[in-house]
Structure 1
Amino acid sequence: MSDMTGQAGGNSTTRFWLVVTSVIILVQVVSQYLMGRLWICECGYVKLFEAGVNTPGNSQHLFDWYTPSHIIHGFLFYGLGWLVMRKQPITAKLSLAALIEAAWEILENSPMVIDRYRTATMAIGYTGDSILNSGMDMVAMIAGFFFAARVPLWLTVVIALGFEVLTAFVIRDNLTLNVLMLVWPIEAVKTWQGAL
């Protein structure tokens, strides 16, 4: 599934799609600012990694235990681009991935979804992402996207499964459980997650 074999369409096409991706990221940041999101943690400082899950610092700093989920987003969005945009350059596929990730980041930080997280998932005190954290989620997705573009499919799948198992073990949550609990909450899973 590798897609890193030259610059299909030339430099002008590559530049065009990189500008589109940059505009998408800018729209994500500006939207969150207009929604009243804080630039950084309310605590007033920035940490490299926030290890706590149900803590005020979760989703506020550079990286946290949900970063692997955003890397997996990159794997999945690369796969989607590969399926539906086969003849397009990788930068066009990146724009599609950035559009989906930005839409999710904006939706995830809407009052409706924040409330859903609080009531249906283990994220009882969730208040949404800082703009910094949301931006780093985009960076993690992009890293996952380019990783998936460069390595064999089997390795991407193994790493995605490894991330899911690791985060399930450490924080009793991962991308699969997060989606499940948002869409179809299961009380037994919520109880298990809350026992951490």
Structure 2
Amino acid sequence: MTELIRRRWPFLAFALFAAAVATLFAMGRPPICACGEVTLWGPVGPRQSQMLLDWYSFSHIIHGFLFYAALHLAMRRVPVGGRLLIAILIEAAWEIAENSPIIIDRYREATIALGYSGDSILNSASDIAMMIVGFLAARRLPLWASVALVAAMEIVPLIAIRDNLTLNVWMLVHPSQSILDWQAGA
């Protein structure tokens, strides 16, 4: 099995990626923004999660760093390609869950994502790709550089849009009115 993963992980990674896209399509997610526009960067607002990249793309890169670290510690004997497959599976599962009605509604009620309607398939596919970028970067970079990059990818969105991965998770799990007020500029 280990040898199969070593030789076939790129094919298996593509298959997982394609299965996630097919699942999102079967769920009725729009392939691109309903506005018909495709841009590299989504502006802050309801259309941001419809474009290729947005402020939350940094969160998905961080996922890659975190998955690499956790899987490196927990599964050292599994080849890196196998660990990447596990990370892709987790990220793809999150993208599918994140675009389910229950999570979309949770975002609307507990976070600053007013008008959030879920991601386009293009954005979800990009989110999975960003996680892969983070995973592969974490594999190559020294620990200090990884920590510095993750810190920057948390601080810059926090300053720019008053949100980041930490606040996003916090608000989904245990919403805080004071954080919501701060994010809204109140």
Quick check: 1:23 aligned with 2:15? yes
Partner of 1:64: 54
SS in 2 for 1:64: coil
SS in 1 for 2:49: coil
Q: TM-score, normalised by structure 2?
A: 0.95
SS in 2 for 1:63: coil
SS in 1 for 2:50: coil
1-structure distance, mates of 2:32, 2:13: 23
**Could you report, residue by residue, the CA deviation over 1:67-87 in whole angstroms, capped at 9, with x for unpaired residues?**
100000000011111012101
RMSD: 1.6
Quick check: 1:188 aligned with 2:178? yes
Q: Which runs of 5+ in 1 are unaligned?
A: 1-8
1-structure distance, mates of 2:32, 2:6: 32
**Could you report, residue by residue, the CA deviation over 1:144-171 in whole angstroms, capped at 9, with x for unpaired residues?**
0000000111110111011111100000
Partner of 2:168: 178
1:39 to 21, 31, 38: 31
1:164 to 140, 154, 157: 154
Partner of 1:151: 141
2-structure distance, mates of 1:86, 1:73: 19
Partner of 1:3: none
**Displacement of 1:17:** 2.3
2-structure distance, mates of 1:14, 1:44: 40
2:94 to 83, 96, 104: 104
Moved over 6 A (4+): none
**Displacement of 1:11:** 7.4
**Displacement of 1:14:** 2.5
**Displacement of 1:51:** 2.7
For structure 1, which segment, 85-94 or 168-177, has the greater mean C-alpha deviation from structure 2 after superposition?
A: 85-94
**Displacement of 1:12:** 4.9
Partner of 1:91: 81
2-structure distance, mates of 1:63, 1:193: 21
Counting matched residue pairs gives: 186
Tell me if the contact between 2:71 and 2:83 (Cα under 8 Å) persists in the aligned partners: yes
Give the percent of matched residue pairs that are identical in Structure 1 and Structure 2: 49
Q: Which runs of 5+ in 2 are unaligned?
A: none
Q: TM-score, normalised by structure 1?
A: 0.91
2-structure distance, mates of 1:74, 1:126: 24
